[in-house]
Amino acid sequence: MSESHRHVNKRTGVLVGGAATALVAAAIVLPQANASAERPAPPRTFSAESAARAASSLKAELGADRTAGWYLDAGKGRLVMNVLSADDAGKLEAEGAVARVVRNSTSELQAATRALRATVAIPGTAWSIDPRTNQVSVVADRTVTGAELAALTEAVEKAGGGGMARIKRSAGEFRRYHGGGSGSEAATSTGGSDGSGESGDDSGRSGGPDSPGGSDGSGGSDGSDGSAGSGGSGGDSAGQGEGSTGALPVGGSAIFGGNARCSLGFNVTVQGAPAFLTAGHCGKGSATWTADQAGAQPLGTVADARFPESDFALVTYDDPAARPDSAVDLQNGGTRQMSRAAEAAVGMRVQRSGSTTGLSDGTVTGLDATVNYGNGDIVNGLIQTDVCAEPGDSGGPMFSGDAAVGLTSGGSGDCTRGGETFFQPVTTALEATGAEIGAGDGGDTGSDGAGRPAGR
């Protein structure tokens, strides 16, 4: 018998700051009876990929208006799917999924997010749909106070009437995660007031792109040992291919444009030509990118950059004969081959590689997220996670196994205290640019840091 058969799950409203006013209550998971005459099948064990396929099939079978999102209980490998009736819950359980009968439909939650988007323009705010609570989760960072907090609370109450939204506070401050040298835009971050500001000499918390990474050392879900390594060497990671520009960087390596330092996301091909993806706010900041801060190792030229609204850029390699490796740096001397792109799913275990903090891991916590970085920079359609990142990690890859999932955009907090981090979905960037994961064989594939061939 599923968990939703055993008890009623009620979540209370969240108090904002010192206010004693409770916000809208979470959705009530209604008790359900198994209306199917057939005995429910034991819950199946799913990977993120198989869960996505099964959820898509079940949604198509039932109809979008009868489902309300799904998530992966990664610890147990369970596909948990929200439906609006006990009859449909029985159908899902017959297919090996765990069913939850919930109050709010997907269309209602999407309408709430649209209402927030239309009425709230407060820097330091973000929201996403969380299928685990059947709500819109609204986050306000530490800069949102006073009249702005009151306005946000009112907007959430109006948009989330009937228990569709809740607010929580972040101890950090939302900002894009590009780093920089003297005079760069990144130097306008809080200067380390929350432990993650750049100092203006390209020396982030971990000391810059050539110093040891600040990862937490956890290996994530793909079996790598996850030990901290070079923190991105800007062009000499293991497994890189050779072109006339010399050894080429892989995902997570430092790249430099103007006064900014970002991280390479994924090497790709566009109509057979080599290119790479990184953050759009990095691509908007400089037309050309190099593998070193001095600019002596040119890499490529920005062909397309989208920011705000989205946050991805396509940079074509200057040398059309370049053969960069389709891999990410695991920051421990090894690389992981990337063979495909995958959609994110709430509950998916992921890893992120970046030139400031090295390798970190965590979980996808929300989809279709909107974040307001201030100065009119509002980005939609992002993946929300609890994976840490810091300035200089912008554009770096988020991946799961051998699948490319996201490009680092920004967030709050740091890799000492954690926080929320947002990622541009790779699938959206690939579709918009016509790019494909993989940019040649790149020579030696390296290893995943555990003595196994990369990508396995």
Sign of CA pseudo-dihedral 359, 360, 365, 366:
negative
Question: In sequence order, which ranges of 67-185 are alpha helices (DSSP H)?
Answer: 86-94, 106-119, 146-159
Report the amino acid identity of residue 101: V
Evaluate whether 267 touches 247 at the Cβ level (below 8 Å): no
Provide the 10 A C-beta neighbour count for residue 134: 27
Beta-ladder partners of 385: 364, 421
**Cα–Cα distance, 270 to 438 (Å, whole number):** 10
Tokens of 427: 């699938």
**Cα–Cα distance, 10 to 103 (Å, whole number):** 12
Evaluate whether 371 touches 410 at the Cβ level (below 8 Å): yes
Sign of CA pseudo-dihedral 241, 361, 355, 319:
positive
Evaluate whether 132 touches 2 at the Cβ level (below 8 Å): no
**Cα–Cα distance, 270 to 21 (Å, whole number):** 53
Nearest to 384 by CA among 344, 338, 341, 340: 344
How many degrees, rounded to 5, is the angle at CA 413 between CA 371 and CA 205?
A: 125
Sign of CA pseudo-dihedral 88, 91, 95, 97:
positive
Nearest to 250 by CA among 227, 224, 277: 277
Catalytic residue annotation: 281, 311, 394
Sign of CA pseudo-dihedral 433, 247, 402, 76:
negative
| Cα–Cα separations (whole angstroms), residue 274 to 109, 161, 267, 317 | 40, 49, 7, 6
DSSP class per residue in 246-279: EE---BT-EEEETTEEEE--EEEEETTEEEEEE-
